[in-house]
């Protein structure tokens, strides 16, 4: 059964499902929640790192890590990122909170080499490029595939790990850019609870809570809550309609046996969004419509909506067989529902152009995952081994429709559940996987990592177009490999060389994508170095890589071009710095340089104009910086920038040699905080100089989305 949120009749100048009366009721509800939580009995929360073994090199105990992550599970076992022979960027909780980054999208601005794609009728929701390659199939939640179309929040996120490069051996089918993995908060036996409230310009309002209660010697309960509203400086000149964000989240979890040989954690994540999305402005002669962007004009109509509801339930069992051996098994069931009627920023904006360019969609996705991993350390023939092995079963079931117009051509009305026809697309897939990886220290300080994974994927896909149905059934069996050589002459220095590959078959990502062509295949070669400086307070890493991809698919659901390129490559350099420069000065910074080119055009391309061109949405240079300085007396000053170079996109009406182009930009942010043991008051200015820049690019169409205008946010956090 496919159910969704019902809508009221849309009214001019107001979003269709949140009336003025409902908005008014929303505000006192927030106030009561804040008062009630502040009066609650003291609860305790602890960071996961407090329960883990100490790192080899660490800072003083009274100065915990802020921006330098010392633990990650992105390699299937708990490790220090310093020890992994592959480039990793970790966005920590402290960085997220200091920047008032409330969504995954905002948190990922701290990742160099990453750009944002606009959605239109295709891949709506979180949609990013990493190292020039799309990452839609590489989104993970606690190491489990999470590819449904929705906008992810970070209220229940401890950190975000970005494992760069092909990672199919560890995670299964995917791309060459890397894996983006959200790490959820979990119950702990000690720590501190938090309650936060924020208000800001453009209608920004947020209440969030992170509550933990120890229930016994080995049992704890944790609850994370969030509700947030955001407005916009942009509006429709004919109706006054503005883009809006209205989101809520609820994430309870309970853990048993903490600190014992048997730990069991049950968690649930529920999020709900009721947005009116901003799909940007059109291009004029290959450039963004500057006049329209400066005027803040918005194409959306009064009845636009983007509603979603996400439910993810997870059961996690960790068996600590011995100090060197652990067995972890996870069972997850997830349901994702979404419906939207959105208007793309294309053509000339007139009083009724918003009615003629609407994109409508509803979908529902169900995933069931069983994942079991075993890791152990042993010595064989005098050589140390670290073995990781596991199996996984993944069932995916997705269905989507176009919505039916219940109104007229000039005054349309769309509602979830009112479909034009039978489902436009259905997808059902089953994947069985097994992998094994061993890290062997064959001589002192030298380690060799070798791994192999086998994925067997069966899929059935049906699409309906013009009343005609076409079907495809696939049965793919693919191997994925990983190899790395590490030299760690000291605890603070790590030099490595690595190779990894990945694949993505036809009908993956819930769409038919060129059934007559082979699966996508990617290979990445990387050499790098990682250093821990200043007694471990500061982490510096650098990497050089070469990535090659064949038979690149188009992830846009509405595109008629299934194959983007037959061959393409990216060569890049990355430098990243994270940690403490002094007792008062913290920094997080990254730089990415990418030299990417199309080597062979798609077989369906009309000519070879694409050959030698830079691939879509791939700037040569991106960089970011965030730094804070402790002024004393509880005051902290922070600020930084985000830079992205020129990016290009391609549409049928423009050749590869004359693409749509968005200019480079620098956005500056600033923060002033007053921190005390029991509370923090923080004032953030996002886009300090009110720079007009273009954030997301729709590379299969003619529009781009302007970024956040200058916004002020005042927030406070109470700890108890």
> What is residue 357's predicted lDDT score, i.e. its pLDDT?
66
**Residue 708 parent element (H or E):** none
Domain assignment of residue 82, yes or no:
yes
**Residue 284 parent element (H or E):** strand 281-284
Domain assignment of residue 7, yes or no:
no
> What is residue 478's predicted lDDT score, i.e. its pLDDT?
87
Half-sphere exposure of 247 toward its Cβ, with a 13 Å CA cutoff? 27
Domain assignment of residue 9, yes or no:
no
Is 309 in contact with 5 (CB distance < 8 Å)? yes
Domain assignment of residue 10, yes or no:
no
Per-residue confidence at 495, pLDDT binned at 50, 70, 90? very high
Is 626 in contact with 605 (CB distance < 8 Å)? no
> What is residue 314's predicted lDDT score, i.e. its pLDDT?
98
Domain assignment of residue 195, yes or no:
yes
* Long-range contact pairs involving 235-239 (C-beta distance under 8 Å, separation at least 24): 235/296, 235/297, 235/298, 236/297, 236/298, 236/299, 236/300, 236/301, 236/354, 237/295, 237/297, 237/349, 238/350, 238/351, 238/354, 239/12, 239/13, 239/301, 239/302, 239/354
Q: Which of 194-198, 213-217, 396-400, 539-543 shows the lowest per-residue confidence on average (mean pLDDT)?
A: 396-400
Residue 680 reports pLDDT greater than 90: yes
Domains in the chain, number: 1
> What is residue 593's predicted lDDT score, i.e. its pLDDT?
97
DSSP structure string for 137-160: GGEEETTEE--SS-PPB-TTEEEE
Q: Which of 3-17, 198-212, 437-451, 455-469 shows the lowest per-residue confidence on average (mean pLDDT)?
A: 3-17
Q: Which of 293-302, 521-530, 615-624, 692-701 shows the lowest per-residue confidence on average (mean pLDDT)?
A: 692-701
Residue 141 reports pLDDT greater than 70: yes
Radius of gyration for the alpha carbons in the chain, expressed in angstroms and rounded: 25
Residue 30 reports pLDDT greater than 80: no
DSSP E strand stretches across 68-218: 88-92, 114-117, 128-130, 133-134, 139-141, 144-145, 157-164, 178-184, 194-200, 205-214
Residue 398 reports pLDDT greater than 80: yes
Domain assignment of residue 293, yes or no:
yes
Per-residue confidence at 56, pLDDT binned at 50, 70, 90? very low
Residue 65 reports pLDDT greater than 90: no
> What is residue 510's predicted lDDT score, i.e. its pLDDT?
61
What is the C-alpha to C-alpha distance for residues 146 and 455, in angstroms, rounded to an integer?
17
> What is residue 23's predicted lDDT score, i.e. its pLDDT?
38
Domain assignment of residue 663, yes or no:
yes
> What is residue 343's predicted lDDT score, i.e. its pLDDT?
83
> What is residue 513's predicted lDDT score, i.e. its pLDDT?
62
Comparison of pLDDT for 475 and 347, the residue scoring more: 475
- Across the range 625-643, mean pLDDT stands at 97
Residue 340 reports pLDDT greater than 70: yes
- Across the range 652-666, mean pLDDT stands at 81
Domain assignment of residue 553, yes or no:
yes
What is the C-alpha to C-alpha distance for residues 165 and 131, in angstroms, rounded to an integer?
8
pLDDT digits over 177-224, tens only? 899 999 999 999 987 899 999 999 999 999 999 999 999 999 999 999
> What is residue 26's predicted lDDT score, i.e. its pLDDT?
37
Per-residue confidence at 137, pLDDT binned at 50, 70, 90? confident
* Residue linked to tokens 């009749």: 9
The CATH number given to whatever domain includes residue 455 is: 2.40.170.20
The three-state secondary structure class of 373 is: strand
In this prediction the pTM is 0.88
Could you tell me the residue range of the domain that residue 28 belongs to? 20-719
> What is residue 461's predicted lDDT score, i.e. its pLDDT?
84
- Across the range 263-278, mean pLDDT stands at 95
What is the C-alpha to C-alpha distance for residues 579 and 57, in angstroms, rounded to an integer?
13
Mean per-residue pLDDT over the chain, rounded: 85
pLDDT digits over 74-132, tens only? 888 888 999 999 999 999 999 999 999 999 999 999 999 999 988 654 556 788 899 98
């Amino acid at each position: 059964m496919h159910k969704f949120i019902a809508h009221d009749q849309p009214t001019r100048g107001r979003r269709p499902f949140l009336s003025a009366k409902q908005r008014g009721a929303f505000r006192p509800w927030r106030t009561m929640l804040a008062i009630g939580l502040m009066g609650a009995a003291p609860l305790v929360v602890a960071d996961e790192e407090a329960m883990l073994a100490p790192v080899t090199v660490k800072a003083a105990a009274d100065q915990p890590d802020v921006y330098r992550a010392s633990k990650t599970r992105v390699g299937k076992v708990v490790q220090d990122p310093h020890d992994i022979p592959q480039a990793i960027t970790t966005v920590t909780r402290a960085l997220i909170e200091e920047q008032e980054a409330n969504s995954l999208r905002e948190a990922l601005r701290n990742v160099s080499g990453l750009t944002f794609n606009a959605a239109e009728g295709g891949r709506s929701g979180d949609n990013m490029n990493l190292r020039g390659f799309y990452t839609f199939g590489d989104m993970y939640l606690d190491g489990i595939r999470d590819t449904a179309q929705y906008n992810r929040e970070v209220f229940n996120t401890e950190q975000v790990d970005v494992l760069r490069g092909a990672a199919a051996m560890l995670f299964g089918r995917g791309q060459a850019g890397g894996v983006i993995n959200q790490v959820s908060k979990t119950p702990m036996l000690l720590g501190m609870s938090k309650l936060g409230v924020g208000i800001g310009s453009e209608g920004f309002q947020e209440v969030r809570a992170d509550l933990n209660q120890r229930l016994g010697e080995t049992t704890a309960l944790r609850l994370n809550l969030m509700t947030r509203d955001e407005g916009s400086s942009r509006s429709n000149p004919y109706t006054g309609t503005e883009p809006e964000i209205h989101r809520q989240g609820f994430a309870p979890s309970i853990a048993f046996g903490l600190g014992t040989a048997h730990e069991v954690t049950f968690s649930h994540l529920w999020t709900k969004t009721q947005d009116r999305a901003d799909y940007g402005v059109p291009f004029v002669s290959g450039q963004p419509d500057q006049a329209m962007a400066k005027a803040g004009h918005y194409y959306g109509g009064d009845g636009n909506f983007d509603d979603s509801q996400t439910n993810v339930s997870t059961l996690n069992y960790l068996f600590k067989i011995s100090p060197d051996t652990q067995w972890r098994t996870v069972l997850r069931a997830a349901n994702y529902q979404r419906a939207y009627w959105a208007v793309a920023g294309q053509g000339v904006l007139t009083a009724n152009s918003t009615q003629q360019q609407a994109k409508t969609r509803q979908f529902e996705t169900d995933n069931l995952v069983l994942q079991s991993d075993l890791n152990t350390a042993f010595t064989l023939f005098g050589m140390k081994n670290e073995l990781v092995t596991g199996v996984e079963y993944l069932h995916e079931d997705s269905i989507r429709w176009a919505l039916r117009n219940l109104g007229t051509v000039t005054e349309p009305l769309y509602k979830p559940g009112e479909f034009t026809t039978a489902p436009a697309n259905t997808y059902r897939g089953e994947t069985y996987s097994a992998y094994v990886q061993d890290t062997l220290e064959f001589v002192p300080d030298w380690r060799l990592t070798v791994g192999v994974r086998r994925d067997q994927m069966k899929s059935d896909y049906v699409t309906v177009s013009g009343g005609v149905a076409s079907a495809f059934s696939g049965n793919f069996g693919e191997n994925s490999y990983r190899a790395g050589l590490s030299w760690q002459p000291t605890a603070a220095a790590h030099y490595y060389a690595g190779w990894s590959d990945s694949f993505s078959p036809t009908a993956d990502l819930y769409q038919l994508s060129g059934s007559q062509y082979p699966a996508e295949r990617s290979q990445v070669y990387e050499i790098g170095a990682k250093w821990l400086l200043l007694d471990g307070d500061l982490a510096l890493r650098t990497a050089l890589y070469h990535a090659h991809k064949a038979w690149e698919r188009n992830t846009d659901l509405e595109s008629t071009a299934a194959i983007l390129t037959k061959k393409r490559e990216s060569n890049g350099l990355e430098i990243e710095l994270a940690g403490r420069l002094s007792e008062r000065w913290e920094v997080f910074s990254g730089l990415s340089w990418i030299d990417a080119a199309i080597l062979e055009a798609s077989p369906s391309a009309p000519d070879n104009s694409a050959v030698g061109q830079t691939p879509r949405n791939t700037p040569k240079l991106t960089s970011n910086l965030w730094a804070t300085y402790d002024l004393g007396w509880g005051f902290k000053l922070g600020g930084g920038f985000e830079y992205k170079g020129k990016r290009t996109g391609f549409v049928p009406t423009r050749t590869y040699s004359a693409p749509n182009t968005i200019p480079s930009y620098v956005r500056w942010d600033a923060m002033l905080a007053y921190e005390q043991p029991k509370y923090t008051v923080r004032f953030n200015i996002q886009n300090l100089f009110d720079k007009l820049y273009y954030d997301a690019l729709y590379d299969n169409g003619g529009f781009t989305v302007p970024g956040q205008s200058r916004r002020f946010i005042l927030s406070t956090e109470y700890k108890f």
